[in-house]
Structure 1
Amino acid sequence: MRITYRWLQEFIDIGELSAKEVADILTDVGIEVDSVSYAAEGIEKVVTGKIVELKKHPNADRLKICKVDVGDTVLQIVTGADNVFEGAVVPVALHGAKLPNGVRIKRSKLRGEVSEGMLCSEEELGLTESAKGIMILPDDVEVGRDIVEVLGLDDWVIEYEITTNRPDALSVLGIARELKAVLGKPVNLPPTSFSEGGFTAEEEATLKVLDGAACPRYDGFVIKGLENRNSPLWMQVRLYLVGLRPINAVVDVTNYVMYELGQPLHAFDLEKLAGREVVVRRAREGERILTLDGVERELSPSDLVIADAEGPVAIAGVMGGENSSTSLETKEVFLESAHFDPMTVRRTSKRLALMTDSSYRFERGADIEATDFAARRALHLIQKLCGGEVAKGKLSFYPKPYTPKVIVFNPERATKILGVNIPARKSFEILSNLGFTVKKEQDYIVVKVPSWRKYDVTREIDLIEEVVRIYGMKNVVSSYPLMHSEVERNFVYDKVQEVKEFLAAHGLNEAVNYSFIGEKLYGRFGLSVENLVRIANPLSEEWSFMRDRIFPSLVQNACLNINRNERNVFLFEVARVFLSRGEKLPEEPLHLGFVLTGKVPEGLYGERDVDFYDLKGIVELLMELLKLSPEFKPLESEPYLHPGQSAKVSVDGEEVGFIGKLHPDVLERFDVKQDIFVGELNLEELLKLSQGKETRFFPVPKFPPVSRDIAVLVDLDLPVAEVERVIRRSAKYLERLKLFDVYTGKGIPDGKKSVAYSLLFRSPDRTLSDEEVNRIMDVIIKELEKIGAKLRT
């Protein structure tokens, strides 16, 4: 939305405040100003000139040579414009002139003829983005004058955004009301007087409103005998500055008043309305209309239209029809000023993909009480510019006049909510200056909401917001609330944070992915999306389902990094997954996913490829953090994991996840040539198992330990976990068991592997003798022999 600084000055005395200072005030009260730009920025040495002679260029069919009087001299200028003629007054860029687009004009030759300047269009003066020809000025404009002065470009354009609840700010008047609340200066309303003829509106046309819910108010005025023409220069320039294109005086007035007062208007050529009837109704099935933008549109029964005796002539609140539009030949005008239901207009605008200045205001909620005033303002301007007589009275439909909503404002309650004491007198003054009708009653204020704020001010909290935004948020001092609350610690939250810190400390980076996933990604892992929760309105095909596991997203993250030559990727993610339960809402357990790929440091200066045992070690340490004892068993049924390097993870006999190396086929589908290790745990289940586990402390041992090493040959496919289980079960006084070597190769029979452990024994009440430890080792060896193990010598 744009307005100009000079236009605003006509509505309120802003004293010596600059446009930038006005913009700062508006931003402070919640009207966010995007930019303040000087309308004449970049225009230098451009004056008015009159074409006194025009002839064809001797060496170019499409060029013309103009003799242009610029006041103190006559210049020769070559132009290619088709709309120039002898006697035309035009903007002339002299030698050395500068234009808003940065172009400098110099004396030059065009096809052998000297050109001492350039004739300018509205586009070249920065008024519009495109123009069909040179800008033609009124005949009475004095030649040789600075174009900035002639066009009134010594002005500033203030461009701002509104929130959807503030349609009242979509006008110069609305912004003036905001400034009144801050500055305390009165708002000056524009003149609306006009002379009436000896005929009545009822004699000239008829009005029927068949859908009062969609059109709660309709005012129609008639003006006859006018001479439509181009609007005056000052109006055209203002329309240009706010982003509109001048058309003719009648249409320009309706647009001008819409930006001035915020009420959309529409002018019909009364002589083109069949039967001189105006009917407000719903469109009928199959009806079509050619709108002002030249597009024929099919209407729907949900659309509200303005019709005559033969069919639709306008889409209510959106756009008029071509067949009833005004032109320079128009002599009689039916002026519409109505209030349309916001939802009705919005539905039609969205369905037709047709947003206009009119629909933008109506769908947010225009002022129902502004229709008469805006129409009278437009009639004043039309009569002033085009002459004519206005019919007495109007055609009106307004069965339920606006009744202001009454809200009680309690200053004490406002203080409690805001945390700052705004005096009741100040609140009274702010609300009054904003246009609310206020009355003091004992300890509270009775407030009546004006019509232009009916849609967004409905409760006391809305009034509190109005008061504080004008009072100034910068005047509200931050302070801590006077409260003492006992907040119980959340075990799950605390543990999740602890897990994240633990993983970050071990070199993993946290990833955050969307919970959406696509069939293509799952297909790379050989997974089906058949049992996933499907999204009804996905953002894209790649995000059609809610994921039921985390690791595919992490693998995708790793592959994206690898493809960008970041080959060392160590990620984890904590997030909820979505498990389908048919017609019921999905189950949403909290999961923890890992992905490891690349190289890890080894020694002081070396490095090695990450392997399965790195991931297993992280899981073991994590379980230790949660005071849990994991079990790892071979996992062979998952299509995305390497069958020889994968394991399911169990705690207390309950499966809680898996770890493993991605299958080579999966890596090939991702076009990745390095190993990737993944894992996923049901963190929610782990936290349940962990809750209640206590940390136990033991005294420092008084007696020394005794250590032994043992190496045994076992079947190649026997899990080392099974070996450890046998050792722990049969070893008395065993304090620590550590695997330090797994070996296959020279000296080891085919189908066998060597596993070596370090064992630490300690008694809590005495020093163990070698004999005792040897007996324990003998028991261990006998138990290992039962699972096929053989002591390696």
Structure 2
Amino acid sequence: MKFSWNILNNFINLELINFQKFIEQITLAGFEIETIEENKKINDKIINLSITANRKEIYCVFNLAQEMSSILNEPLKISIQSYHQNNQYKIKSNVTKFKFIEYIKINTIHNIQNKESPVWLQNNLEAYEIQPINLLHDIEKYIELKWGHSVQIIDLHNLKIQLIDNKFIIVNKSNRTQNTEQILYNNEEIINITNKNIENKFATKTSKTKNIIICHIIYKQNNIDNSQYTFNNANEDTIKLITTFGKGVINKSYHHNIFNIENKKLRIGARKIKYILGPITQYKLKFLSNKDILKTLKQLKLEPQFLKEKKIFNTVIPKYRQHDLQRDIDIIEEIGRIYGFKKFVDDIPKYENKGKMSLKKIYLKKVSNILIDIGLDEVMNSSLTKNFKNQETIKIYNEITEEQKILRINILDNLIKNYNHYSVNEKKLKTEIFEIGKIFYKNNLIEYIEEKHLGILIKNDHYFKKNWSNKPENLEWFHAKGIIETLLKKLNIKNIIWSNEINNNLNESLITVLKYIKRDKKLFIYKKKSKHIIGVLGELKKIYNNTREKQNKKLYVCEINLKDLMMSVYFEKHLNYHIKPYSLYPSVHRDISINTKQSINSIKNIILKNNINLIESIQTINEYYNKKDNSKSICLRFTYRSINKTLNKQDITNINKHIENVLLQLNSTIE
């Protein structure tokens, strides 16, 4: 919405305010500036603001000036007049039956000279790209821009007077544009005025100069404007302009007041304000003081009162702000906006305590990472789909689209659609994808089941070479099976067997997968103990491959129940590790050849038991077996090392002698 800088200056003193500072302040206050136009011809700046949905009351220059008065903490140049004046007569009428009317005021002015409007008034209209016509027309438009009031000026010479049951009828436009309330005198909105004095005034005979009626009606606006507060200001401004430049004579006013102004009250704790807005300094954690909060609430014209004992602020919400200031959090936001959000510390708080991740989620993430490391790409599809032919499914109520009306019963259907779509469009030679997602089905007991499944689709035309000089060949059956076995091995899953025979322990959800797989090209993954099937691997039927590839291009698919898969994970509870200090001193190696009939392990154990703290390890290098006398010739490598010193020549000699004595006791000889 466009606003004139010159008209805005009529309400608030902007001469001492730098224009760039004004733009910065209004932007920080939450008003987005779309454009700024400078009209050198009329020496004015036009500011085009984007008004958000929660600030509908900013529709005229006065309302913007009132907002800027709060933001800049500058007083308004004018004072708001009361609703009634002494020279007004009250209309006795039955307008109360029109619930949409709040206030009516009527003035008659005689002997108007409807000439050209003054230059300053024309310039203000040209700032809004409104073409000036004559004085009365220009005043109507100017008052609407300045105050937000749509005053209707009616020429008595052209007014068709109707008398119904001795009652005079006049009809006026609404305050603002409401398409259902814009008819002047077509009997759609009728205000019956029975006062004969007013009737006689309206029935004045025509004269050379114009006699006009200024008829002003305010309609209820769902509490989104403050027109009732500025009604008399706008009306007085209208009359002043007409009588000053049109040289007219004004009669007394007539009004009917049915205003029902009820200001809403809100209470908010000082502690809550400080907690939500946060500190204003980073190191000492200094918060907004009660004095500053009270000052800011006064700037917002909320008539605040601070209860020191209870540490609570009482605020009064005016009617024109009740549409967006309804909760205490709205008041807190206004305090931050006016005080300045940039003055508060905006650092994100640090949380050292990390949330715990469930064991199920850990393994789901591990499955995904293993498959990605192998070379597969993860895809994500919606659990809602169009249909599954010849299969019982779960339908949803009030579906969003025809394409998403049932819950999927397996993962493979979406993977096949992914392959057919992307392979046709992109002509990929390699498609190795997987998805971890939810499936839904009804079991034999007609219970609704929700499970997590893993679906895999593999196809690769250039998977391996038998020789470096040969062309790459397609991925085959055993390669696909090897990928699944690699996954099971890395997950440390044991007690799993493969079989091409099916039993009665096949899960209902996996039965739907069999229709995609060739009969003679499938394998079931069994739990060894329970004989329960947890997954299916097989070659995809050609009817589901819509890419029209050659017959030797094979696709392999697999679907696994992740809950059953995780139940098969083997957890190692004990680790065969020995902890001992590590020596910082160098080691010495000696190789010894031995002829013996003892086993190698028995020789090692006997040597290590007898002293020998300086022997760090014994390794077997080679072994020769003589069948004639059942003897062995072995070569052992001894590593000597001390934990607290460097070994000298004497230490090594003592170790060697000790080893010789042990071997002699075992009837073994050293070569």
Aligned residue among 281, 296, 301 for 1:435: 301
Looking at structure 1, the residues matched to 365 and 449 of structure 2 have their Cα atoms a distance apart, in angstroms, of 22
Identity across the alignment (%): 18
Question: Which stretch of structure 1 is more off in the superposition, 243-252 or 445-454?
Answer: 243-252
Looking at structure 2, the residues matched to 479 and 219 of structure 1 have their Cα atoms a distance apart, in angstroms, of 54
Q: Structure 1 residue 507: deviation in Å? A: 2.2
Looking at structure 1, the residues matched to 109 and 234 of structure 2 have their Cα atoms a distance apart, in angstroms, of 15
- 3-state SS of 1:188 partner: coil
Looking at structure 2, the residues matched to 616 and 448 of structure 1 have their Cα atoms a distance apart, in angstroms, of 74
Contact 1:533 1:546 survives alignment (8 Å): yes
Looking at structure 2, the residues matched to 248 and 418 of structure 1 have their Cα atoms a distance apart, in angstroms, of 53
Any gaps of 5 or more consecutive residues in structure 2? 163-167, 191-209, 280-286, 503-510, 578-624, 626-671
Looking at structure 1, the residues matched to 131 and 447 of structure 2 have their Cα atoms a distance apart, in angstroms, of 54
Contact 2:101 2:217 survives alignment (8 Å): no
Looking at structure 2, the residues matched to 332 and 376 of structure 1 have their Cα atoms a distance apart, in angstroms, of 12
When residues 698 and 195 of structure 1 are mapped into structure 2, their CA distance, relative to the original with a 3 A threshold, is closer
Looking at structure 2, the residues matched to 660 and 237 of structure 1 have their Cα atoms a distance apart, in angstroms, of 82
Looking at structure 2, the residues matched to 610 and 506 of structure 1 have their Cα atoms a distance apart, in angstroms, of 14
Whether 1:28 aligns to 2:22 is no
Partner of 1:489: 357
Partner of 2:220: 339
Q: Structure 1 residue 450: deviation in Å? A: 2.4
Looking at structure 1, the residues matched to 473 and 120 of structure 2 have their Cα atoms a distance apart, in angstroms, of 78
- 3-state SS of 1:504 partner: helix
Looking at structure 1, the residues matched to 122 and 392 of structure 2 have their Cα atoms a distance apart, in angstroms, of 61
Q: Structure 1 residue 186: deviation in Å? A: 1.7
- 3-state SS of 1:572 partner: strand
Give matches, 1:168-179, under 5 Å: 168-179=57-68
Looking at structure 2, the residues matched to 233 and 679 of structure 1 have their Cα atoms a distance apart, in angstroms, of 84
User: TM-score, normalized by length of structure 2?
Assistant: 0.62
Looking at structure 1, the residues matched to 38 and 98 of structure 2 have their Cα atoms a distance apart, in angstroms, of 44
Partner of 2:541: 663
When residues 444 and 503 of structure 1 are mapped into structure 2, their CA distance, relative to the original with a 3 A threshold, is same
Aligned residue among 526, 529, 532 for 2:395: 532
* Bigger Rg, structure 1 or 2: 2
User: TM-score, normalized by length of structure 1?
Assistant: 0.53
Partner of 1:276: 169
Give matches, 1:46-65, under 5 Å: none
When residues 280 and 259 of structure 1 are mapped into structure 2, their CA distance, relative to the original with a 3 A threshold, is closer
Q: Structure 1 residue 32: deviation in Å? A: 2.9
Looking at structure 2, the residues matched to 242 and 546 of structure 1 have their Cα atoms a distance apart, in angstroms, of 57
Whether 1:466 aligns to 2:334 is yes
Give matches, 1:671-686, under 5 Å: 677-683=556-562, 685-686=563-564
Q: Structure 1 residue 464: deviation in Å? A: 1.8
Looking at structure 1, the residues matched to 415 and 135 of structure 2 have their Cα atoms a distance apart, in angstroms, of 64
Aligned residue among 287, 292, 307 for 1:426: 292
When residues 655 and 599 of structure 1 are mapped into structure 2, their CA distance, relative to the original with a 3 A threshold, is same
Looking at structure 1, the residues matched to 434 and 247 of structure 2 have their Cα atoms a distance apart, in angstroms, of 77
Looking at structure 2, the residues matched to 542 and 424 of structure 1 have their Cα atoms a distance apart, in angstroms, of 58
Contact 2:293 2:335 survives alignment (8 Å): yes
Partner of 1:208: 95
When residues 175 and 268 of structure 1 are mapped into structure 2, their CA distance, relative to the original with a 3 A threshold, is closer
Partner of 1:694: 571
- 1:602 counterpart letter in structure 2: F
Aligned residue among 159, 164, 170 for 2:49: 159
Any gaps of 5 or more consecutive residues in structure 1? 41-147, 282-290, 298-303, 315-328, 343-364, 701-768, 770-793
- 3-state SS of 1:477 partner: coil
When residues 641 and 223 of structure 1 are mapped into structure 2, their CA distance, relative to the original with a 3 A threshold, is farther
Contact 1:255 1:264 survives alignment (8 Å): no
Q: Structure 1 residue 312: deviation in Å? A: 2.8
Contact 1:171 1:260 survives alignment (8 Å): yes
Whether 1:366 aligns to 2:243 is no
- 1:436 counterpart letter in structure 2: L
- 3-state SS of 2:3 partner: strand
Looking at structure 2, the residues matched to 428 and 460 of structure 1 have their Cα atoms a distance apart, in angstroms, of 15
Q: Structure 1 residue 449: deviation in Å? A: 1.8
Contact 1:436 1:448 survives alignment (8 Å): yes
Q: Structure 1 residue 625: deviation in Å? A: 4.8
Give matches, 1:292-691, under 5 Å: 311-312=187-188, 331-341=212-222, 365-367=224-226, 369-370=228-229, 372-373=231-232, 375-376=234-235, 379-380=238-239, 383=242, 389=250, 392-398=253-259, 400-410=260-270, 412-420=271-279, 421-442=287-308, 443-479=311-347, 481=349, 485=353, 487-517=355-385, 519=386, 522=387, 526=389, 531-536=394-399, 538=400, 540-545=401-406, 547-565=408-426, 567=428, 568-577=430-439, 589-599=451-461, 601-602=463-464, 607-611=472-476, 615-628=480-493, 629=496, 633=500, 638-646=514-522, 653-656=531-534, 658-668=536-546, 677-683=556-562, 685-686=563-564, 689=567
When residues 494 and 563 of structure 1 are mapped into structure 2, their CA distance, relative to the original with a 3 A threshold, is same
Partner of 1:217: 102
- 2:10 counterpart letter in structure 1: E
Q: Structure 1 residue 436: deviation in Å? A: 1.4
Q: Structure 1 residue 437: deviation in Å? A: 0.8
Whether 1:37 aligns to 2:36 is yes
Q: Which deviations, in whole Å up to 9, do the C-alpha atoms of 1:175-202 show, x marking residues without a partner? A: 4344333432223349989999998573
Q: Structure 1 residue 155: deviation in Å? A: 1.7
Question: Which stretch of structure 1 is more off in the superposition, 457-466 or 542-551?
Answer: 542-551
Looking at structure 2, the residues matched to 21 and 336 of structure 1 have their Cα atoms a distance apart, in angstroms, of 39
When residues 689 and 461 of structure 1 are mapped into structure 2, their CA distance, relative to the original with a 3 A threshold, is same
When residues 309 and 475 of structure 1 are mapped into structure 2, their CA distance, relative to the original with a 3 A threshold, is closer
Looking at structure 1, the residues matched to 17 and 31 of structure 2 have their Cα atoms a distance apart, in angstroms, of 17
Give matches, 1:53-92, under 5 Å: none
Q: Structure 1 residue 594: deviation in Å? A: 3.6
Give matches, 1:74-153, under 5 Å: 148-149=40-41, 152=42
- 3-state SS of 1:312 partner: coil
Looking at structure 2, the residues matched to 500 and 175 of structure 1 have their Cα atoms a distance apart, in angstroms, of 57
Contact 2:152 2:173 survives alignment (8 Å): no
Question: Which stretch of structure 1 is more off in the superposition, 231-240 or 366-375?
Answer: 231-240
Looking at structure 1, the residues matched to 150 and 575 of structure 2 have their Cα atoms a distance apart, in angstroms, of 87
Contact 1:157 1:242 survives alignment (8 Å): no
- 3-state SS of 1:394 partner: strand
Contact 2:51 2:58 survives alignment (8 Å): no
When residues 515 and 24 of structure 1 are mapped into structure 2, their CA distance, relative to the original with a 3 A threshold, is farther
Question: Which stretch of structure 1 is more off in the superposition, 174-183 or 429-438?
Answer: 174-183
Q: Which deviations, in whole Å up to 9, do the C-alpha atoms of 1:96-141 show, x marking residues without a partner? A: xxxxxxxxxxxxxxxxxxxxxxxxxxxxxxxxxxxxxxxxxxxxxx
When residues 694 and 434 of structure 1 are mapped into structure 2, their CA distance, relative to the original with a 3 A threshold, is same
Looking at structure 1, the residues matched to 524 and 127 of structure 2 have their Cα atoms a distance apart, in angstroms, of 70
Q: Which deviations, in whole Å up to 9, do the C-alpha atoms of 1:218-257 show, x marking residues without a partner? A: 4454555567788777667766766878898767766655
- 3-state SS of 1:455 partner: coil
Partner of 1:65: none
Looking at structure 2, the residues matched to 585 and 187 of structure 1 have their Cα atoms a distance apart, in angstroms, of 71
Q: Which deviations, in whole Å up to 9, do the C-alpha atoms of 1:395-418 show, x marking residues without a partner? A: 3333x32233132341x3322223
Looking at structure 1, the residues matched to 241 and 406 of structure 2 have their Cα atoms a distance apart, in angstroms, of 60
Q: Which deviations, in whole Å up to 9, do the C-alpha atoms of 1:147-185 show, x marking residues without a partner? A: x41xx26424333241x3222344434443443334322
- 3-state SS of 1:395 partner: strand
- 1:392 counterpart letter in structure 2: S
When residues 482 and 677 of structure 1 are mapped into structure 2, their CA distance, relative to the original with a 3 A threshold, is closer
- 2:323 counterpart letter in structure 1: Y
When residues 477 and 233 of structure 1 are mapped into structure 2, their CA distance, relative to the original with a 3 A threshold, is same
Looking at structure 2, the residues matched to 550 and 390 of structure 1 have their Cα atoms a distance apart, in angstroms, of 84
Looking at structure 2, the residues matched to 195 and 458 of structure 1 have their Cα atoms a distance apart, in angstroms, of 30
- 3-state SS of 1:415 partner: helix
When residues 280 and 21 of structure 1 are mapped into structure 2, their CA distance, relative to the original with a 3 A threshold, is closer
- 2:258 counterpart letter in structure 1: F
Give the aligned CA root-mean-square deviation in angstroms.
5.0
Q: Structure 1 residue 339: deviation in Å? A: 1.8
- 3-state SS of 1:155 partner: strand
